[in-house]
Structure 1
Amino acid sequence: MRFLPIRLLPDNTAFDFVRYRFAAYAFSLLLVVATLGSLAINGLNLGIDFKGGMLVEIQSAQPIDPGSLRSRLTEAGLGAAEVQQFGKPNEALIRLDSDQLGTTEAKQAAPRIRAALGEGYEFRRTELVGPRVSAELFRDGALATALAVLGIALYVWFRFEWQFGVAAMIATAHDVVVTLGLLSITGLEFNLTAIAALLTLAGYSINDTVVVFDRIRETMRKHKKLPMAELINLSVNQTLSRTILTSGTTLVAILPLMFFATSTLLNFTVALVWGILIGTFSSVFVAAALLLHLPTIRTTEAEAESPEKAVSQ
């Protein structure tokens, strides 16, 4: 049995993406500037994975008063513990930095927290990471993300031409950086789960971009006299249904996870949802249009008509 391909948009779709490329560049630049500003002012809300210390997630049958808990922990000799509501009013996170925990005291911190809080609290999660391990995890996570973006660019370079590799690297780095900015602006915890989200996003973003680039290369072979701007528009429009359907079905799978997931996966799902949206935007409006500003990747019209004449000139 032969199945017909699903098309969300008609075959004769002819939206002029190239025409709006500078508006897309301006929007992307605005997002990058906002990201850099937030990173400079707010930084990242580093989790225990990267900062070191202890993280305890608690739940109570009654709404939790962070101020009251903070006072009780201070009186118990645990220092200036950070207590914040997380999720529901009866849920909270208790953070103790590595500076507040000695090597021997760290093992005793959890029982002391239980004793200070008393009955009526359920300890749902307890994490303890030393400062040396956390520094190594942060360095390795940042290195893994940078190498992933560079590896993607090299793959596209050898798969197509170097101009495609440069455009793909810019678009993928844009998606990763802007998603990092979202984590900084919202204050979501930046930990190993967030690194996993950034790496997943990089792979997802380049998947869409490679599909568009492959269609551009195919269209270049069929329409040798077509101007580059029209060729890009034609290729992006031909793959637009596939791009929207892929992004839409992925969002359908992730959105329920974002709304109903536990606090542990909130930063992962939020980063992925935002990354899919911004990655689709960059694949359609930014990545392909960047080829117009790079050295030519095709023969000119005169060379296509008469290669011998072009050589003689």
Structure 2
Amino acid sequence: MPIRIVPDDTNINFFAAARITFGASVVAVIASIILFFTMGLNYGIDFTGGTSIRTEAEQPVDIGAYRDALSGLDLGDVTISEVFDPGFDDDQHVAQVRIQAQEGHESVSNETMGAVEAALKGVDPTLEFMAVDSVGGKVSGELIRTAVLAVVGAMAAILVYIWLRFEWQFSIGAVAALVHDVALTIGIFSLFQIKFDLAIIAALLTIVGYSINDTVVVFDRARENLRKFKTRPLIEVLNISANETLSRTVMTSGTTLVALIALLVLGGDVIRGFVFAITWGIVVGTYSSIYVAKNIVLMLGVKRDWDKPSTPTGGQFADVDA
């Protein structure tokens, strides 16, 4: 017998507290916007400028020891990560050290570079600087603009896609859910001043894709049920659709979260911000698919097409329990 986390006859009224859930989402989005403009984001080197150093040593990279050696130099934001490549020799250990731009300078000064090299050689005398690259303020500004355009462009493309596949009411609901997810993610990063870099932009785009996938599954079942239950009110049809796809939602989100939580706990500092962003995004994305997107569709209403047959007209897998 297959294990079912969600029973087949589940009948949860997701609209029982619609005003509270939707109102809480509106308040959370407004609070996130306020946090962004008042506290701002803790931008990483990608957006503030700085210097990237590629090191090579004969001994294995000890990120903790490297970080401790540099902690007394008052360098501000320092990111250290080990670089892996199948082509490296057994005694070839490479690390990437990224240091934020110092006040009044677009890159790290020669004196500071000397102090950094001396500190790291104190940990491993075989260490050498193989490459040093600087990111100036102009490049950082371009990265910010490109990142914003990437997120906005993805959401605009999704708006058009949902509009063409479903109805305009569904597209508004889907994009509202995406705005909700991105805003809340930016808000929590602003609240806790977690470092915000290009990896987090990648996480935001991942969140957008994951959230819209969950929303489309619910909307696709709702479209089928709108043709199947023509006399039932829209609120009932949306509830039925959410309950029918609940098993799929719980299984998909649950298994993904298990892997993400393991990475969050055991993955280390290098990927922790990225993993946290995706973990948070999946939680709010699952919530918004049910309590934001469907609420928008319910408020806007959907015109029924009475000329279509009263049986589900989805694909051959329309009746398969996801």
Query: What is the TM-score normalised by the length of structure 2?
Result: 0.77
The aligned counterpart of 2:188 is 182
- Determine which of 61, 64, 71 is the counterpart of 1:59: 64
Runs of at least 4 residues of structure 1 off by over 6 A?
55-58, 61-65, 83-86, 121-127
SS of the residue corresponding to residue 17 of structure 2 reads: helix
Does residue 1:208 correspond to 2:218, yes or no? Answer: no
Partner amino acid, structure 1, of 2:243? N
Deviations 1:195-239 (A, max 9, x none): 000000000000000000001000011110001111111110111
Partner amino acid, structure 1, of 2:73? L
Aligned residues: 281
CA apart distance, 1:115: 3.3
Take 2:288 and 2:116, find their aligned partners in 1: how far apart are those partners? 47
CA apart distance, 1:269: 0.2
Partner amino acid, structure 2, of 1:82? G
CA contact (8 A) 2:242 2:290 kept: yes
Deviations 1:132-172 (A, max 9, x none): 21111111011000111111111111010111001001001
The aligned counterpart of 2:117 is 114
The aligned counterpart of 2:134 is 128
SS of the residue corresponding to residue 30 of structure 1 reads: helix
Between 207-216 and 35-44, the greater mean CA deviation after superposition: 35-44
CA apart distance, 1:267: 1.2
Does residue 1:173 correspond to 2:179, yes or no? Answer: yes
SS of the residue corresponding to residue 289 of structure 1 reads: helix
Take 2:260 and 2:210, find their aligned partners in 1: how far apart are those partners? 13
Does residue 1:151 correspond to 2:157, yes or no? Answer: yes
SS of the residue corresponding to residue 43 of structure 1 reads: coil
CA contact (8 A) 2:181 2:281 kept: yes
Partner amino acid, structure 1, of 2:43? L
Change (3 A) 1:239 1:116: closer
Change (3 A) 1:8 1:49: same
CA apart distance, 1:116: 6.4
Query: What is the TM-score normalised by the length of structure 1?
Result: 0.79
Take 2:50 and 2:133, find their aligned partners in 1: how far apart are those partners? 8
Take 1:194 and 1:62, find their aligned partners in 2: how far apart are those partners? 22
SS of the residue corresponding to residue 128 of structure 1 reads: strand
Change (3 A) 1:41 1:123: farther
CA contact (8 A) 1:54 1:129 kept: yes
Take 2:119 and 2:69, find their aligned partners in 1: how far apart are those partners? 14
SS of the residue corresponding to residue 5 of structure 2 reads: coil
Take 1:163 and 1:297, find their aligned partners in 2: how far apart are those partners? 10
Change (3 A) 1:62 1:295: closer
CA apart distance, 1:65: 9.6
Take 1:222 and 1:235, find their aligned partners in 2: how far apart are those partners? 11
The aligned counterpart of 1:43 is 40
Take 1:269 and 1:25, find their aligned partners in 2: how far apart are those partners? 27
Take 2:184 and 2:146, find their aligned partners in 1: how far apart are those partners? 20
Deviations 1:16-72 (A, max 9, x none): 111221111122123212212221221011111111123689633896795x533xx
- Determine which of 265, 268, 287 is the counterpart of 2:274: 268
Between 32-41 and 198-207, the greater mean CA deviation after superposition: 32-41
CA contact (8 A) 2:50 2:101 kept: yes
Change (3 A) 1:162 1:114: same
CA apart distance, 1:83: 6.2
Q: What runs of 5+ residues in structure 1 fail to find an aligned partner?
A: 71-80, 87-92, 305-313
Question: Identity rate of aligned residues, in percent?
Answer: 39
